[in-house]
Chains A and B, each alone.
Chain A
Amino acid sequence: MSVAINNLGYRNWEGRLGSPWLRWLTIAMVGIQIVFKSQWIKRLMFLAWGPAIGVGGIFFFYEQYVENRDTIQVGIASSPRSQKQFGEMLQLVSSSSQAEVISTAMSKPPNEARGYVWSFVLVSMLRVSQGWMVLVMIGLIAPSLIAKDIRSRAHLFYFSKPITRVDYLVGKFSIVAFFVGFVTLLPVLALYALGVLLSPDALDVIKSTWFLPFRVTVACLIYIVPCCLIGLALSSLTTESRFAGFAWFMVWILGFVGYNIVNNISALGNGMPADDSLWRIISLYDCLTFLQSWVMDLETNHAYAMKLLFFVLLLCLICYFTIMRKISTPLRA
């Protein structure tokens, strides 16, 4: 038998092992490395930054508007008509019906209005990316993460090493969260930074909007955590990732369509949609975006938000226990 010239035979290893608490990071990094091999994921990650650049222009126009209002006393910038037009422009990007609220907010002094307008723009940006980007991103990544492991019996590979089921779950979760965060949280934070940089008075802007990056982060987490857990839970239910992917898209699409049908029926009966209907929970998109608006202080119905939050937490717990149970089952076989 020929022996490779670099074959040193078996040698004992004398090094020191790293902390057992960071093993999830290894799972996450290797998972990210595997997902990065997909060209589609790279394209999506690139595309996700498009809206951020577009919406960044809105900050620029808004700050120009504020600057003009302070310096030019007479002109379209200070007129109620221009405020309404700006509100309508935001409506275009946000597909929300809050143009009136925006124009009212804009009539206030800039330091009071800025927080609201910026929050509104950031949330609008999130909805643009979350509306389809997160749906597609998780639909491409999450279904295979656990399903493929179960199919290739990788659980024995993982759990014979000094890692726990929680490490495994946190690692897998981090893979999805990384990519989803990359197309949601990161562009929004970059957008905020861009907005500050494009503002004529950056210090004044930071003073009146310093809380926004934190709120945006929480708002994104409210979206990312349940979405990633649902994606992983669906993945853990099958060995065929295409079934998990199909289920993922169906959960969102049917939920969204179902809620809108219910809402329209309600609107036909009462003349307007019921904003505080618990039917919202059938559409995760509507449920989570409402909670985001609540976190960003754009919605003030706290009691209703708490009910939705309770539902989301319950859903997360169900997903968590489903995943834990499903990854334990093959070990007993």
Chain B
Amino acid sequence: MENLIELESIEKYYGRNRVLDDVSVSFQPGVTGLLGPNGAGKSTLIKVILGLVRISSGTGNVMGLDLLESARAIRSLIGYMPEDDSYIAGLTGVELVRYAACLSGMSALEGLRRAHEILDFCDVKQERYRNVETYSTGMRQKTKVAQAIVADPPILILDEPTSGLDPEAREAMLNRVKYLSSKHGKTVIISTHILRDVQQICDHVVIMANGKMKMADRLENVHRPSTPNLFLTVKGDMDLFRKTLTRNGVDSKLDEDKLLQIITSDGALPMEVWDSATQSDVQVQSVVPAKNSLETVFREAVGEDVGGD
């Protein structure tokens, strides 16, 4: 698959502090979740892609444009939604979005038309005529997305797009992002702490910690465990069943949720399990293939305890 953004051995120092350490990663079409604890270097990586900070070493390109030589051209290909509140005091919502359109190169009239169109899409109604300083968090998030997509860039970088949103608004925001990716071919990078958001809409996951790239893969691969185990729910004498399994040569262990984990080599349920069930007179109620949870993968990748949402 074509890589829209390619970074190779990127290093970035602030003084003596190395904030990006030999980062090599590529971003493909679809939605990519950029995960990492605070201080992992996600924001710096985004700023490197946008050409807002100069890299200390390494190379990279965005849609074939060199990171160092074509920063302005690269920014015209990317719509960026910052995590922090970022607005121009004294402007209404529609004026702000029109301003973003004009800064991207649209004429004032076309910018205004487009601003209204995008604000409709982002579900900003009459509030668009109010000063942005008076907006609620949810309204600001919508306006920030609107200013990022108003110039129709092929790449979107959204920093914590669902932060501070109520469940309904969060769902709408995620649907909007998914829609832009699936129906309009946008390549979206979402930097977030909320693993559930990534789980819900992302095709790829990139995990960073301490300025290093820890993992970059498709979400389905991330979920696939290293050993294809199975989880069984059984009704009956669990201890007897486990003893019988051991006697029949099947490895098993009981997890915290009282689910019986069968350790297999190929993901198929061995016949011995059925034999053991018959012998110990238990009923097998369900067989579910084991999946790595994103939270587990994330914890393993960053090597420390972190709280998911």
CB of B130, distance to nearest CB on chain A (Å): 15
**Cα distance, A332 to B107, chains bound together (Å):** 31
CB <8 Å contact, B151 and A157: no
Interface size for A (C-beta < 8 A) is 41
Interface pairs (17), CB distance under 8 Å? A8-B121, A9-B121, A10-B180, A13-B152, A15-B110, A17-B105, A27-B103, A30-B91, A30-B99, A156-B82, A158-B103, A160-B80, A162-B103, A162-B105, A163-B75, A332-B14, A332-B53
Nearest CB to that of B154 among chain A residues? A12
Q: Which of A227-281 contact B (CB under 8 A)?
A: none
Stretch among A18-26, A87-95, A282-290, A309-317 lining the B interface: A18-26
**Cα distance, A206 to B99, chains bound together (Å):** 44
Write out the residue numbers on chain A whose beta carbons fall within 8 Å of the beta carbon of B224. none
Interface string of B134-160 (1 = CB under 8 A from A): 000000000000011101100000000
Q: Which of A23, A151, A155, A157 touches B147 (beta carbons < 8 Å)?
A: A157
Write out the residue numbers on chain B whose beta carbons fall within 8 Å of the beta carbon of A153. 82, 84-86
Q: Which of B14, B53, B82 touches A160 (beta carbons < 8 Å)?
A: B82
**Cα distance, A177 to B229, chains bound together (Å):** 71
A10-B179, A30-B91, A162-B76 given; A15·B106 CB < 8 A: yes
List chain B positions with a Cβ less than 8 A from chain A: 14, 47, 50, 52-53, 72-73, 75-76, 78, 80, 82, 84-91, 95, 99-100, 102-108, 110, 114, 117-118, 120-121, 123, 125, 133, 147-149, 151-152, 172, 179-180, 183-184
Nearest CB to that of B72 among chain A residues? A162
CB <8 Å contact, B151 and A148: no
The interface centre, meaning the residue of A13, A30, A160, A331 with most chain B CB atoms within 10 A of its CB, is A160
CB of A2, distance to nearest CB on chain B (Å): 10
Nearest CB to that of B144 among chain A residues? A157
Write out the residue numbers on chain B whose beta carbons fall within 8 Å of the beta carbon of A12. 152, 184
CB <8 Å contact, B52 and A160: yes
Write out the residue numbers on chain B whose beta carbons fall within 8 Å of the beta carbon of A163. 72, 75, 103
List chain A positions with a Cβ less than 8 A from chain B: 1, 4, 6-13, 15, 17-20, 23, 26-27, 29-30, 34, 37, 144, 148-149, 151-164, 331-332
CB <8 Å contact, B53 and A331: yes
CB <8 Å contact, A157 and B76: no
**Cα distance, A29 to B99, chains bound together (Å):** 10
Q: Which of A23, A148, A156 touches B86 (beta carbons < 8 Å)?
A: A156
Q: Which of A17, A34, A156 touches B91 (beta carbons < 8 Å)?
A: A34
CB <8 Å contact, A6 and B105: no
CB of B211, distance to nearest CB on chain A (Å): 15
CB of B261, distance to nearest CB on chain A (Å): 42
CB <8 Å contact, B110 and A154: no
CB of A137, distance to nearest CB on chain B (Å): 18
Q: Which of B47, B103, B183 touches A161 (beta carbons < 8 Å)?
A: B103
Write out the residue numbers on chain B whose beta carbons fall within 8 Å of the beta carbon of A160. 50, 52, 75, 78, 80, 82, 148
Write out the residue numbers on chain A whose beta carbons fall within 8 Å of the beta carbon of B133. 152
Nearest CB to that of A18 among chain B residues? B105
List 4 tightest A-B contacts by C-beta distance, closest first.
Answer: A17-B105, A160-B80, A13-B152, A162-B76
**Cα distance, A159 to B87, chains bound together (Å):** 12
CB of B62, distance to nearest CB on chain A (Å): 12
**Cα distance, A156 to B75, chains bound together (Å):** 12
A18-B107, A26-B99, A154-B87 given; A164·B82 CB < 8 A: no
CB <8 Å contact, A6 and B120: yes
Write out the residue numbers on chain B whose beta carbons fall within 8 Å of the beta carbon of A164. 72
Q: Which of A10, A13, A148, A331 touches B89 (beta carbons < 8 Å)?
A: A148
Write out the residue numbers on chain A whose beta carbons fall within 8 Å of the beta carbon of B149. 10
CB <8 Å contact, A18 and B106: yes
Known interface pairs A149-B88, A161-B100; 14 further A-B residue pairs with C-beta atoms within 8 A, sorted by A's residue number = A10-B183, A10-B184, A13-B151, A15-B106, A17-B151, A30-B88, A30-B95, A34-B91, A152-B133, A157-B82, A157-B100, A160-B52, A160-B80, A161-B104
